[in-house]
Amino acid sequence: MSLLEMVQQKNMNMLPERYKTMTVDEMESRVWEVKNKLGDKLFIPGHHYQKDEVIQFADAVGDSLQLAQVSAKNTAAEYIVFCGVHFMAETADILTSDKQKVILPDMRAGCSLADMANIEQTERGWQELQETFRDTIIPLTYVNSTAAIKAFVGRHGGATVTSSNARPMLEWAFTQKERVLFLPDQHLGRNTAFDMGIPLDKMAVWDPVLEKFEYNGDLDEVKIILWKGHCSVHAMFTVENVKQVRKNHPDAKIIVHPECSREVVALADDAGSTKYIIETIKASAPGTKWAVGTEMNLVNRLTKQFADKEVFSLNPYMCACLTMNRIDLPHLLWALENVERGEVMNQIIVEANIASEAHLALERMLARA
C-alpha cells in the first residue's frame, strides 16, 4: 500500500466531526432507528467488557465463547457489527458465511494480549520446539490471538480455547500428544494446567523475543510450554491488592479471572471465566461481599446489577480495558449509519486460506463446547 493510500485509509477510518457534536440522546435515538429499520439484517454481538452506552444495543451479550457460538449460529444477518475487539470480530468472520459482513466500529479496538504472538515468532518458536521435543507437541491457542495464529494451530492439529473451556480443551490436547504449547497467555495456561494437577516444575516458558526457554530443570520433564504473553488489564491485579482486601474487607470473597497471575489466583477464593464470575456472584446470597479481579466495565455493571450484594474491584485504582473502550456510542452509530447507506466501513475480512485453517482450530473447540 502506498503512503497516499495509507493516509487516505487512516482518514477514512477516523470518526467524522459530526459524531463529536451530537448529544447522547440524539445518538441513542438514531441507533434505535437504524436498528429497527434494519431488523434481522443486522446483528450486534457485545462482549461483557463493553461500556454500558454500547451494551444497551447488543442483540447478544456474552463472553468470548458465547459470542463465537452465537456468531456461528447466526445465518440471517447480513451485517454483524461486532462490539468487542479485533480478534473477536475475526473469529466471527471465520465462523460466518461469505455473504455476511463483519464490521468493527473502531479499527483501533485491538487486544494487547493477542498482539503478543505474531506468526513469524510462532513459526520460529515452533521450529525450536520441534528440535527440542520432536513430534511430541500439540499447539493450543487462547481465542485472544490473531487469525494467523489460529490458522497455525489448526494446521498443526490443535485447537482454540477460551477461558470457559480451557481445562477440557487442555485435557483433550493431552490425549493427542505428550506435550502442549499454550499461546499466547501464559497465565491462563499455567492456571489451567496447575488445576489439572501439573506441577509448576513441569511447565516451561517460551520467550518469543529472546527466543529461549525460561526453565531450569530437565526439559524432558516438561508437559506444557507457556508462551510468554499476558493481558495487560488482568496484570493490574496484584498480591498486594489481595492482602489489602483481606485486611480491609475480611468478610469479602475474592474472585478473579484466570488471566491473572498464578500468585493472585492461588490467594483468591475462586477463579473462573467472565461467565463463571457473573454466574457465581449472581447465585450468591444477598448481603455477600465480592472483590472482583477482572475488567472494570464489567465490575461496574455487576455492582449496579446486584445491588443487594457489595461488588467492588480487587484493585481500587483499576481502569477499563482501553482497547475495548474504543468502541463507544459515536463509533457504533457511525458504523450503523454507514450500513444504513449501504457503505461498509471497517469490515473485518480474514483471508480465505487463513480462515479455513483457523476454522479447523475453532471447530475442534466448538465441537467440544
Binding site for ligand SF4 (CB under 6 A): 49, 85, 111-113, 144, 231-233, 295, 321, 323-324
274 binds, among ligand SF4, ligand 13P, none (CB under 5 to 8 A by kind): ligand 13P
Q: Which of residues 121 and 162 has its CB atom nearest to ligand SF4 in the complex?
A: 162
CB of 278 to ligand 13P, least distance (A): 10
For helices 296-305 and 274-283, give the axis angle rounded to 10 degrees.
20
Residue with cell 521435543: 133
Query: The C-alpha cell of 15 is what?
Result: 470518526
Residue 63 as a binder of ligand 13P (CB under 6 A): the answer is yes
Nearest to 259 by CA among 349, 329, 161, 330: 161
CB of 114 to ligand SF4, least distance (A): 6
Nearest to 293 by CA among 302, 284, 285: 302
Nearest to 183 by CA among 218, 233, 148, 217: 148
Residue 274 as a binder of ligand 13P (CB under 6 A): the answer is yes
Q: Which of residues 137 and 268 has its CB atom nearest to ligand SF4 in the complex?
A: 268
Site for ligand 13P in 194-233 (CB under 6 A): 231
CB of 324 to ligand SF4, least distance (A): 5
63 binds, among ligand SF4, ligand 13P, none (CB under 5 to 8 A by kind): ligand 13P
280 binds, among ligand SF4, ligand 13P, none (CB under 5 to 8 A by kind): none
CB of 131 to ligand SF4, least distance (A): 31
Nearest to 276 by CA among 167, 187, 194: 167
Burial class (CB in 10 A: 0-12, 13-18, 19+), 286: exposed
Angstrom distance (rounded) from CA 191 to CA 259: 8
Q: Which of residues 137 and 255 has its CB atom nearest to ligand 13P in the complex?
A: 255
CB of 70 to ligand SF4, least distance (A): 18
DSSP structure class, residue 83: B
Residues 216, 202: contact at Cβ < 8 Å?
no
Residue with cell 489451567: 192
**Residue 125, helix vs strand vs coil:** helix
Residue 50 as a binder of ligand 13P (CB under 6 A): the answer is no
Nearest to 187 by CA among 147, 227, 217, 159: 227
CB atoms within 10 A of CB 28: 17
Work out which of 74, 191, 273, 325 binds ligand 13P, going by CB under 6 A.
273
Beta-strand ranges (E) seen in 118-223 are 137-142, 159-161, 179-183, 203-207, 212-214
DSSP structure class, residue 285: P
CB atoms within 10 A of CB 58: 20
CB of 134 to ligand SF4, least distance (A): 32
CB of 10 to ligand 13P, least distance (A): 25
Number of residues that bind ligand 13P (CB under 6 A): 11
Site for ligand 13P in 104-163 (CB under 6 A): 111, 144, 162-163
With vertex at residue 265, the alpha carbon angle to CA 259 and CA 266, rounded to the nearest 5 degrees, is 150
CB of 345 to ligand SF4, least distance (A): 22
Work out which of 64, 122, 325, 338 binds ligand 13P, going by CB under 6 A.
64
Site for ligand 13P in 237-266 (CB under 6 A): 259
112 binds, among ligand 13P, ligand SF4, none (CB under 5 to 8 A by kind): ligand SF4
186 binds, among ligand SF4, ligand 13P, none (CB under 5 to 8 A by kind): none
**Residue 215, helix vs strand vs coil:** coil
Angstrom distance (rounded) from CA 347 to CA 270: 39
CB of 164 to ligand 13P, least distance (A): 6
Angstrom distance (rounded) from CA 85 to CA 104: 8
Q: Which of residues 63 and 90 has its CB atom nearest to ligand 13P in the complex?
A: 63
64 binds, among ligand SF4, ligand 13P, none (CB under 5 to 8 A by kind): ligand 13P
Residues that bind ligand 13P (CB under 6 A): 63-64, 111, 144, 162-164, 231, 259, 273-274
